[in-house]
Chains A and B, each alone.
Chain A
Amino acid sequence: MSDQGSFYQRDRSWHPPAFTPQYKTSVLRSPQYPLLSLENTVSEMTGPVFGHDRIGPLDNDLIRNYAKTGDPIGQRIIVYGRVLDENARPVPGALLEFWQANAGGRYRHKKETYLAAIDPNFGGCGRTITDQEGRYSFRTIKPGAYPWPNGVNDWRPAHIHFSVFGHAFAQRLITQMYFEGDPMIWQCPIVTTIPDKAAIEQLIAALDRNNTIHMDALAYKFDIVLRGRRSTLFENRQEGN
């Protein structure tokens, strides 16, 4: 596996642009000047990598990692998948962090004012590191939809936020995972900051009945793709493909 070439350029017509006025907060938080293009230097091709010793045994179990008096209320689910690069190669050792609201759509955050109740047994944060094949999994409660003051009557679809560290700072990514079949996905001004329908579909986790846990939890599969690296085809043949 080539791990020295520079990264494929980001396709910024696939990602959401900075200025997306239907998502109101982006209006004053989007740069107006064009980005300055910079080929990868060692500053971008390196990045922090975290050892498995960082991770506690309950870090990927949101059903138990904040439990005080019992299990949280809600739909028990497993979320699993792989972290791959654009060459479809696994990314081992990738740190994933995730955060979410509880079953009622309420976040445990001091600036949050939604009237749905806090769940005393649910914190809403987790993390894990991918294995040698790029696989990860965690256990949680399916989050609820959540109203927000954008349009007068805007609601976020059920979603889980993901923060991903690959092997280089150029691969740093934060995104959101949505759930198959949720009609609110296509009405959401944050989802539709992404211009391409196929790109949106890449963020929708599939229900996987084959990996449910009998009489316990449903399963959703969510693969994540990070930037891939060029092969150095002629500059350094031993790297190859």
Chain B
Amino acid sequence: MVQKLGQLKESPSQTAGPYVHIGATPNWVEITGVWKEDLGLVLVGPEAKGERIVVKGRIFDGSGTPLKDALVEIWQADAQGLYNSPQERRGRADPHFTGWGRQPVDGTTGEYRFETIKPGRVPFPDGRLMAPHITFWIVARGINIGLHTRMYFGDEEGANAECPVLARIEHKVRVPTLIAPRSEENGLAIYTFDIRLQGEKETVFFDI
């Protein structure tokens, strides 16, 4: 008999279901008075450094219908490329920027929207710089295990061209599924990142 490694198995994932909001954003579904404000609504404090931006979009299923019950989480570096996490070893991140956000998609239009800042570049394990990006995690009814993807910025063509993660994508025709075009509304930069779960122009999802 071979010795055992003594390792446990990770708890298996299950779908978040249609009522994920009860636990994640209770005030949003009018369960008020349990806790004051839903976690992850505000990323940016008034003194946060960096360019204020809005990231918005919709999530489409394989028929082209937007999901109206999804929950989106984002995780990103601050303007200097540092993460507001105890695991960050490279320096101290901007204390006025949390780096983590959570929003339900709108129950009617399916749109999500984050008010955040544009992140700085962070290094790949071999030291090369990755292009600025925001990590996305999507859960919903019908999604058995949370989907990881990344949003890159349409106005960072030079950095995107040398990003070691984007370079990993063999089918170059799929790279644009991760790049959000920039537009402006009343002087505010808007990046629109639509996510397609399945089919034509399916978004690249990662096993991290």
- A: which residues have CB within 8 A of B? 3-4, 8-12, 14-18, 20, 23, 25-33, 35-50, 54, 56, 58-59, 65-66, 84-88, 97-100, 107-112, 123-127, 161, 163, 167-170, 172-176, 190-191, 193-194, 196, 198-200, 202-203, 224-228
Contacts and interface: CB of A to CB of B under 8 A. Distances in A.
A167 B86 contact: yes
Contact of A108 (B14, B29, B83, B202): B29
Contacts of A48: 75, 84-85, 98-100
B21 A97 contact: no
Contacts of A43: 75-77, 83, 122, 130, 133, 135, 150
Nearest to A47: B85
Nearest to B27: A125
**Which range holds the interface residue count of chain B?**
35 or more
Given A12-B207, A110-B29, A168-B87, A174 B14 contact: yes
B184 to A, nearest CB: 27
Interface in B1-30: 6-24, 26, 29-30
7 nearest interchain CB pairs? Answer: A99-B23, A25-B142, A29-B142, A46-B85, A48-B100, A16-B144, A46-B83
A66 B9 contact: no
Chain B interface, >50% SS class: loop
Contact of A28 (B135, B142, B146): B142
Contact of A190 (B14, B23, B100): B14
7 contacts: A25-B142, A33-B202, A38-B208, A123-B22, A125-B23, A126-B34, A203-B14
The main secondary structure of chain A at its interface with chain B is loop
Contacts of B13: 15-16, 173-175
A203 B12 contact: yes
Contacts of A200: 12
Contacts of B15: 23, 26, 174, 176, 190, 193
Contacts of A31: 147, 197-198, 202-203, 205
Contacts, number: 269
Contact of A172 (B34, B85, B87, B137): B137
A147 B85 CA distance: 41
Contact of A39 (B61, B125, B133, B140): B125
B14 A29 contact: no
Contacts of A54: 39
B88 A42 contact: yes
Contact of B144 (A18, A123, A125): A18
A44 B34 CA distance: 31
Query: Which of B35, B98, B147, B202 has the most chain A CB within a 10 Å cutoff?
Result: B35
B75 A169 contact: yes
Contacts of A44: 135, 208
A5 to B, nearest CB: 11
Interface stretch (B49-57, B62-70, B185-193): B62-70
Given A36-B204, A99-B23, A174-B146, A11 B7 contact: no
Given A42-B123, A43-B130, A175-B13, 15 more contacts: A12-B207, A17-B144, A23-B15, A26-B142, A29-B197, A35-B206, A36-B207, A43-B77, A46-B75, A48-B99, A66-B34, A88-B6, A99-B26, A125-B31, A203-B11
A225 B10 contact: yes
Nearest to B140: A29
